[in-house]
Chain A
């Protein structure tokens, strides 16, 4: 209970601020999150329970100037039996046993009104807690639209708790919810409940209660028809392929104007700072360290947003479950499962949100395998490096007439390389460290629904913030460190020439290791800086070769690169970037999602070794073949 008194000077009265804590509980696909978004809007944040990978949303609703409600959106569950992490965490929070989280004073139980018999099964254990509960039946528009009916008074009698029939998506019938939150909470009346941990009994009870109070809606003809297409032996895979292609198109073409605009904005603001502030070490830190560093992360934001908008629409409409079913068999061959395909596809934009997206995979082993191979997918950050090296070393030649250019072929080849590495690694994991028989794959397929734009928008905003915070803070820290390495030791208060800086010294010291790959100390410095983030090497090489604005002056940079590398070295560099883990943000996210540093370190070591060995082989082979 929180209460704080503050005095009102004018009237001399005392205001007591009342902050209530309420939990939103319910099965998956009940529209719980839509209700949560309606109640809290932008005033929400994502939090992680300490020590587990389950996340929850907490938001605040102001009912009046003195009364506000903290609403906790809990994971979707069908029971309170602590078998899965979701259930354990929900139970702990509802019992007030979760460290750092206030025990909720009341519960809003959200059920799908079109799926009552199945969803009521979780009402029994929740009501059995004896906590004031409002039972909300969601999606009333769907229920009535398909000829279903619900006797709320009778249901309320049978459950011993108030019942509200609403549509969170269409904003219908929400007044009782606000009334409940604003009022005093009353514990549920005692009613006959089944033995709580006996599933068949709970189900019998649920079926009986729903039979007495509910008329099931007609099955939607659309769901059947659409499934006939999406799960069709021929059309199903074709639609799936079309969706995958569309995702790639979105990443590479769709987001281009936005990306260009963001890049222009970053450049312009950076130049403005350059011209406004006096020349000093601080200005250099601000422009070259902070701006370039953060700018390189912000520039990926449009791609990530567009991608997640696309995926959000697929998810909310219900198609994604069908896609997971289609993909499952192929993924199972390498020890993954169908649900992994969306995170792996997202990894082509950026591995950071992709790894966060693996939360939908409940099976721990499958989830771990997906996280470990995600960085092999050719992410957007590799593109500037690939483009630069290919342009410098691969002459543009038509391979298949106007259909295929040698440079495009090289790019596609690199994409395939990453994909193959992921596949082989998955296979390896499956037969050694993460050996498993095929896990039971159970997927409840939600009915097809029109995506709710408001909900979608809020989730997008949420994810954008999460990406900026994760990638941004790590990159910012690293950018500053790199700036320091390049500016120390200072020569008369100015930056030393790169060879004599600390970064240069590091480059020189690793040079012997890099010679077999065809690299010299300059590339070495680039590799060191790119450990933070792949695209950083472009700027670093620009600095080393003494070229201003390297990102814009690609011709100059390419020419300098040609002097510095042989063809063998160039290919080795490409292969190195295809396989090595060069992203601090990814390592930070993997650590967070797996709960220990063991995994990102293992991942880094494995990928680095693979990159080194393959780059070495590439250098030798190409030099032998082409001299």
Chain B
């Protein structure tokens, strides 16, 4: 059973090991299912750190982060890795793909590391490959590209492959860290539309991080990290 709240943060304080002051101090942040959120702020304000915390790569210091009802602070690192594999898909700004794998194998990567995602990818009746091909097709990637090595594709095409990979197996959360920043202006909106459409179809909630405020209207929620982050006031990070 999935809970309605995807991410629930309470009184989170995070400090990097060699820093004297906290990097993040968030009293509250909550994300419900279907609430695609746009997270923005200037560079260096702690966006990537927050993503790493939600993604279970970093352990929270004080306070609580709940991911789909699980308290990340109480889990061991291997358990957090498992949670991430099972429930979260990532899209980065660039260099999203493993260069020595063909496109289709890149899309299938999460299914190799998570049994849950592999099973969920296959429930739509088709095989794993079939599901990957379906997603690629929906993301406007031509069939002749599927077997090609990832490095053969343009940046825009690579980002769409990354989106397919993030979505396969219907993860509950999709974290996109500046995914359009390397794309041309015309492509940015198109990519965003595709991403949100497929996320809705997969039942995934998108947490979209960017410094480009022009994209904000596409999202239900608009979160300004410097406003939420008590540690940001008066500090230069």
A and B associate in one complex: no
